[in-house]
């Protein structure tokens, strides 16, 4: 446990360039800044950090929990709500944070189950129901990935 703590502290203390170089050894060259932020804060070891970054830039096929989450009716409706809020993909991190707050507000106002909606939307983009902050995820989605996700979101 102490080694993990030291490793996590080291990862958070090194420069972006050093972290990017270390993650490139895991087959992740040229990570976008939001993926680098998520990697830095999402793991205690370089391997865990690489897993987090990979979810954002090269997600695996959906696991069983993700497939179940994607199938929820709320997901297609949530996709339509988010589509109305984002003018251009990918949004900046700052815009993604603002849009995410508005997205949650609109989902609540429309009576959506927020947990079901967000787990399903995350699963559409990462193949998993848990992962990095949603705003960082949004800031890594380009237009082609957004359009492709629409097929999964009904």
For the whole model, what pTM was predicted? 0.90
Q: Please answer whether residues 113 and 129 qualify as being in contact, where contact means their C-beta atoms are separated by less than 8 angstroms.
A: no
Q: What is the pLDDT of residue 154?
A: 62
Q: Please answer whether residues 96 and 138 qualify as being in contact, where contact means their C-beta atoms are separated by less than 8 angstroms.
A: yes
Taken as a whole, the chain contains a residue count of: 154
Which residues, including other chains, have CB under 8 Å from residue 143's CB and lie 6 or more apart?
88, 89
Q: What is the pLDDT of residue 152?
A: 75
Which residues, including other chains, have CB under 8 Å from residue 95's CB and lie 6 or more apart?
139
Which residues, including other chains, have CB under 8 Å from residue 145's CB and lie 6 or more apart?
89, 125
Distance, in Å, from the CA atom of 148 to the CA atom of 132, rounded to the nearest integer, reads 20
Distance, in Å, from the CA atom of 78 to the CA atom of 113, rounded to the nearest integer, reads 10
Dihedral of alpha carbons 17, 48, 144, 118, sign: negative
Question: DSSP class of residue 120?
Answer: H
Digits of tens for pLDDT over the chain (154 positions)?
544 544 888 899 999 999 999 999 999 989 999 999 999 999 889 999 999 999 999 999 999 999 999 999 999 999 999 999 999 999 999 999 999 999 999 999 999 999 999 999 999 999 999 999 999 999 999 999 999 998 877 6
């Amino acid at each position: 446990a102490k080694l993990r703590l030291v490793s996590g502290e080291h990862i958070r203390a090194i420069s972006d360039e050093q972290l990017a170089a270390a993650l490139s050894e895991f087959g992740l060259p040229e990570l976008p800044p939001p993926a680098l932020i998520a990697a830095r804060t999402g793991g205690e070891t370089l391997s865990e950090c690489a897993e987090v970054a990979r979810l954002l830039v090269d997600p695996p096929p959906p696991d069983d929990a993700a497939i179940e989450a994607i199938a929820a009716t709320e997901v297609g409706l949530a996709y339509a709500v988010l589509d109305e809020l984002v003018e251009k993909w990918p949004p900046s991190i700052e815009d993604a944070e603002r849009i995410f707050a508005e997205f949650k507000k609109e989902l609540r106002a429309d009576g959506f189950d927020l947990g079901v909606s967000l787990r399903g939307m995350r699963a559409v983009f990462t193949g998993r129901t848990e992962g990095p902050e949603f705003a960082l995820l949004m800031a890594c989605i380009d237009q082609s990935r957004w359009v492709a996700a629409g097929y999964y979101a009904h």
